[in-house]
Structure 1
Amino acid sequence: MSDNDEDLCVPKSAMYKLIKELLPQVRLSGDAKDLIVTSCNEFIHLLATEANLVCENQSKRLILPDHVLLALDNLGFGEYKNDCVDVMKQMQEEVDKRRRIKNKLDKPGIPQEELLRQQNLLFAEARKQQQMMDNKEEWQRMQQEAQQALQRQASLNQEMLNPVLKTGITTQDDDDNYD
């Protein structure tokens, strides 16, 4: 095949993937896969040619879905029309959904400057709340450190008093005996 012919074909990798999804329990040789791909491409070309003839017979310049459906009938594949219509409806719903989403993003109804102003206000409020949380955490940390310092001081005071309490309170006379 020439490069031009390959441009007009369904990509082999996409077809191989489709074959694998549709027939997971079946193993096909490379030649069998290539034959299926070639058959699919031939069918697409045949259908496109017939749809083009239908389009020309109706003096139209653009091939529409109705032309493709008539081409299916003309080629003897009319039993697939309902499946094609169902797939076409699903595709149209997806396209419409994407357009709605894109339009919502492109045209939210609020000018860009207003959106930017609102965003900056939200950021400022978030910074303010974060600062308040940081201050609260700092205050709690300082309170905890002060409490720990008081506990250490009380413990030191207790340690200093324990020897005195064990030996009793000494008087001036007791101190003289140590000289």
Structure 2
Amino acid sequence: MNNSDLETTKEDDEISIPRAALNKYVKVLIPEARLTNETRELLLACCHQFIHSLATKSNDACSNANKKTINPEHVIQGLNMMGLDHYVEETRTANEEAKVELQGRRSLRASYKFKNKNSTELEELMRQQQELFDQAKANLVDETVVRNEFSAAQQSTHSFQSAFLGQEQSAGMSGSSQLLASGVQISGYDSQNSKPIDDDEDDYD
């Protein structure tokens, strides 16, 4: 086998359809049919030629649109160029199904990747999460302590004010009693002779 044969084989492998996929598709379409190996090879060759032709037309549509990447719309334009516009709706449906399948594979891959993460990394994440919980709990406790201390200080201040006002009231009542007693004493006795004053005694002539 020379180099040209190797290059041709390599190109065929790049655009080839898996035989298992072709066999499954044939079995779905015509389950009662039995195909020889030569027939299967001919079907593969036809598929390869169709893919190559469609890729060429799609690339032309991409170039005409001044784009660098072939997208699904370019493929649809390629079908129209080949006179296969009756396959457009089926192509759109297949494209949507492929998107859903791709999204499912990505989700499955992400889930598998998460489950198989390094245990050390997971432990570190859990440790950081626990630190956040502990810090929040400590902040809550500190806030409760400050609130209790403030309430106790308010109660102490209120008690002190009540006691102080009570002392002032007691002192005021005691002073009033003394003044009242003195007034009675002055009005009931002569300040010089220390004897009772007779209200009925006549005035001096």
Listed as ranges, the matches of 1:122-161 within 5 Å are none
Closer, same or farther: CA 29–104 of 1 in aligned 2, 3 Å: closer
Task: Select which of 6, 9, 17 maps to 1:3.
Answer: 9
Q: Mean alpha-carbon deviation: is it higher for 22-31 or for 10-19? A: 10-19
Closer, same or farther: CA 15–102 of 1 in aligned 2, 3 Å: closer
Task: Select which of 91, 100, 106 maps to 1:99.
Answer: 106
Tell me how far apart the structure 2 counterparts of residues 98 and 13 of structure 1 sit (CA, whole Å): 21
Equivalent position of 1:112 in the other structure: 122
Q: Which runs of 5+ in 2 are unaligned?
A: 116-120, 128-205
Equivalent position of 2:140 in the other structure: none
Tell me how far apart the structure 2 counterparts of residues 101 and 15 of structure 1 sit (CA, whole Å): 26
SS of residue paired to 1:10: coil
Q: Which runs of 5+ in 1 are unaligned?
A: 118-179
How far does residue 105 in structure 1 lie from its aligned partner after superposition? Answer: 5.7
Deviations 1:33-52 (A, max 9, x none): 22111111100000001000
Percent identity, aligned pairs only, is: 30
1:33 matches 2:40: yes
Deviations 1:83-134 (A, max 9, x none): 11111111111222333444456569xx8227767xxxxxxxxxxxxxxxxx
Equivalent position of 1:65 in the other structure: 72
The amino acid of 2:9's aligned partner reads: D
Closer, same or farther: CA 31–101 of 1 in aligned 2, 3 Å: closer
The amino acid of 2:54's aligned partner reads: L
Equivalent position of 1:55 in the other structure: 62
Higher relative contact order (CA 8 A, sep 6+): 1
Tell me how far apart the structure 2 counterparts of residues 114 and 44 of structure 1 sit (CA, whole Å): 50
Which entry has the higher C-alpha Rg, 1 or 2? Answer: 2
Closer, same or farther: CA 100–17 of 1 in aligned 2, 3 Å: closer
RMSD of aligned C-alpha atoms?
2.6
How far does residue 68 in structure 1 lie from its aligned partner after superposition? Answer: 0.2
Q: TM-score, normalised by structure 1?
A: 0.55
Q: TM-score, normalised by structure 2?
A: 0.49
The amino acid of 2:101's aligned partner reads: E
Instruction: Count matched residues.
Output: 115
SS of residue paired to 1:66: helix
Tell me how far apart the structure 1 counterparts of residues 42 and 111 of structure 2 sit (CA, whole Å): 45
Task: Select which of 16, 20, 26 maps to 2:23.
Answer: 16
Task: Select which of 61, 78, 83 maps to 1:76.
Answer: 83
